[in-house]
Amino acid sequence: MASLTLSSTPLADGFYMPAEWEPQQQMWMIWPERPDNWRLNAQPAHTAFCAVIQAIARFQPVTVGVSADAYLEAYARLADTPGYGVRLVEIANNDAWMRDTGPTFVRNAAGEVRGIDWIFNAWGGEQGGLYSPWDLDNQVARKVLQIEGVSRYVADFVLEGGAIHVDGEGTLLTTEACLLNPNRNPHLTRAEIEENLRQYLGIQKVLWLPNGIYEDETDEHIDNMACFIRPGEVLLAWTDNPQDPQYAYSQAAYTYLSTATDAQGRQLKIHKLPLPQPQYIREEEAAGVVALPGTQPRQAGQRLAASYINFVFCNGALILPSFDDPMDAVAVEHLRQLCPDREVIQVPGREILLGGGNIHCITQQQPIKK
């Protein structure tokens, strides 16, 4: 089936972005490679990604994009993945952040699925972007939609999937720190950004948290800070330590959400999800990363944006990171109580975190056709 390029917008055609907890056809990921971001030639990252892939594959198919150079290695690691298995497809890329480089899928009332191809500029372009070039990453969404034969909306708008969360009923969560940053869409006002989100995602209301997670190098994506777990209910990253810079960020978010209503007029119910203790890059970890021109360096002592909010829903389960921290078990128990209909699975997240994100950042769900 051909992938048509559309000149309209999803809203005009009756399409909207469904919530992440709705049934999924498959999960998309990209195999990590670059030695200037993933230490020791990405070998520890391969193990971490495989753990995520194996966890998701228990519940639904996984498709992994991989470069020609890394294909044989990825095949050796993934070909015999049990459960629903893994499909490998050859996709050239600059790095492994499928949430941000892949398409955002939208659906209409009849169940038809289409995709949005946003502009990707490596989280800031020439003003704070994390690597250069990013031209191959900016082609990933188009290639995914072509592989699937899904019609494509082309957005003249810089956006990453990790910058947004939706409830599937008209409400979108984001942060001012990210979407109002002049390194994304400096020619647009806040109202114009909201209109773009309305046109492409079919939402009616945007909730703007001031900040995300402290020192999050994506300019504080929402997917580290807060998410919907069902309509009218928000999960918020939390610390009770007033000496932590994150404390003020979380307090401000809580204050804002406490007085906000969603697109349906509901007062929000807020669930606080404790953060792990602050984590920092160790000397041996920084030493394993190859310093190359055009890439933000990894330095010992740099604070990492560790958060349990960076989990992903899949069919019948929820996959979240662990950090070898006492709060790991607390986070699992919180999520089991809040999502009793799902199996909550924790997999090691530090190696992914060292690359700049976590499980939600490396995955992109494709909703099922109804």
| 303-304 vs 312-314, strand pairing mode | unpaired
Classify residue 203 by its DSSP letter. Answer: -
Cis peptide leading into 133, omega within 30 of 0?
yes
First to last CA, the chain: 18
Give the CA radius of gyration of the chain.
19
Cα(235)–Cα(212) distance, integer angstroms: 13
Assess contact for 197 and 203: CB atoms under 8 A. Answer: yes
DSSP string across 15-42: EEPPPTTS-EEEEEEE----TTTSTGGG
User: Can you list the positions of beta strands (E) in the chain?
Assistant: 5-6, 15-16, 24-30, 62-66, 86-90, 104-108, 113-119, 152-158, 165-166, 171-175, 205-209, 226-230, 233-238, 269-274, 279-280, 303-304, 312-314, 317-322, 343-348, 364-367
| Token reading at 11 | 């809203």
Amino acid type, 5: T
Say which DSSP state 56 is in: H
Q: Are 188 and 181 in contact (CB under 8 A)?
A: no
- DSSP secondary structure letters along 111-126: --EEEEEEE--TTTTT
Q: Which of 50, 178, 227, 361 is catalytic?
A: 361
Phi, psi of 160 (to 5 degrees): -115, 145
Q: Is 176 exposed, middle or buried (0-12, 13-18, 19+ CB in 10 A)?
A: middle
Residue 361 annotated to the active site:
yes
Q: Tokens in use for 219?
A: 């300019």
Backbone phi and psi for residue 44, each to the nearest 5 degrees, phi listed first? -65, -35
Active site residues: 361
